[in-house]
Amino acid sequence: MIRRAFANAQRRFTTAATAAAQTQNAKTQEQLTHFGYKTVREEDKEQLVGSVFRNVASKYDVMNDFMSGGVHRLWKDHLIQTLNPGPNVKLLDVAGGTGDIAFRFLDYCKKVYGANNTASVTVVDINPAMLEVGKERSKRFGFADSGKIFFQEGNAENLVNIEDASVDAYTIAFGIRNCTHVDRVVSEAYRVLKPGGRFTVLEFGQVENPLVKGIYDLYSFQVIPRIGQIVAGDAESYQYLVESIRKFPPQPKFAAMIKNAGFTLVGQGWEDLTFGVAAIHTGFKV
């Protein structure tokens, strides 16, 4: 009987120890995330990403031209065409510090609806250096005193200064993959959009065509960091940016995340651009 009691106690201890280890492992896993191909603590990623964009802010748009051969401009133009904003749309552009999407939006509304349209855009970015670039560009392009564009420092995962159901459209271009919790970004977008509002994401995608993928991977890993070193004096930041693209969920998985947040998808939920090198994802808050 003593032996049986000891065996039972030993089993209980082993079970408890195993459960405790599993719980601890789960907690440890929950606190880890990726920074490119590196594994880092969640609490450190925001600072690491911030450092990348502080380093590249002044050369960000120039580097986009070099890396994509100017194709990023066509993708962004197509995003605005896809958004097809009305004359009174209130747009929230998140992670849009340099103003690329915001300026296109305002130009589109002026061209289509005339100078007296009431469309406006609030640009939110977590990185002050990127926002400063956007503010300087807004002066250069004649938007600074228009009363139609506003710059605000903020975190895409927790838009504390944006009220519930307060914007007509939400855009985020090449920014969501840098966030620690992508699901929280999508949920915040749903919260701040009005019923009928449109969530539009322009982000790099996963290329499926084997031939194109091989060329794309070779260019990404062998050429882009070298361009980063030559143009921006920073190969490491562009190595991270290339790796972050590969860590972002493929188009079907990201579309499912958008749907799970409550958005209604149109068709499959995304449009591939340039063989899937980039994609535009769309969801409506019904």
Q: How far apart are CA 172 and CA 124, in angstroms?
A: 10
- From residue 61, alpha-carbon distances to 72, 96, 113, 130, 134 in Å are 10, 12, 28, 10, 11
Among 93-97, 240-244, 256-260, 267-271, the least confident range: 240-244
* pLDDT at res. 169: 98
pLDDT band at 23 (very low <50, low <70, confident <90, very high): very low
Q: Would the annotation count 107 as a binding residue?
A: no
* pLDDT at res. 26: 46
Q: How far apart are CA 130 and CA 113, in angstroms?
A: 29
pLDDT score of 6 more than 50: no
**Contact criterion met (CB below 8 Å) for 194 and 168:** yes
Backbone angles phi, psi at 17, to 5 degrees: -65, -40
pLDDT band at 212 (very low <50, low <70, confident <90, very high): very high
Q: Would the annotation count 155 as a binding residue?
A: yes
How high is the mean pLDDT of the chain? 87
**Contact criterion met (CB below 8 Å) for 182 and 176:** yes
Which one is predicted more confidently, 177 or 48?
Answer: 177
Which one is predicted more confidently, 257 or 8?
Answer: 257
Which one is predicted more confidently, 66 or 83?
Answer: 83
Q: How far apart are CA 38 and CA 167, in angstroms?
A: 36
Q: How do residues 95-118 score in pLDDT, each as one tens digit?
A: 998 999 999 999 999 999 999 999
Q: Would the annotation count 125 as a binding residue?
A: yes
Tokens 């159901």 correspond to what residue?
165
**Residue 18, SS3?**
helix
* Rounded percentage of the chain residues whose pLDDT exceeds 90: 66
**pTM metric for this prediction:** 0.83
* pLDDT at res. 47: 72
Q: How do residues 50-81 score in pLDDT, each as one tens digit?
A: 666 666 677 777 778 888 889 999 999 999 99
Q: What angle do CA 268, 270, 271 make, to 5 degrees?
A: 115
What's the mean pLDDT in 238-243? 87
* pLDDT at res. 25: 53
* Rounded percentage of the chain residues whose pLDDT exceeds 70: 84
> Which domains are assigned to the chain?
45-206+248-284 (3.40.50.150)
* Residue 199 CB contacts under 8 Å (≥ 6 apart), including other chains: 169, 170, 186, 189, 190, 193, 258, 263, 281, 282, 283, 284, 285
**Range among 10-24, 236-250, 260-274 rated most confident:** 260-274
Q: Which residues pair with 169 in a beta bridge?
A: 91, 198
Among 29-38, 234-243, 249-258, the least confident range: 29-38
pLDDT band at 160 (very low <50, low <70, confident <90, very high): very high
- From residue 96, alpha-carbon distances to 33, 153, 177, 196, 262 in Å are 23, 11, 13, 23, 24
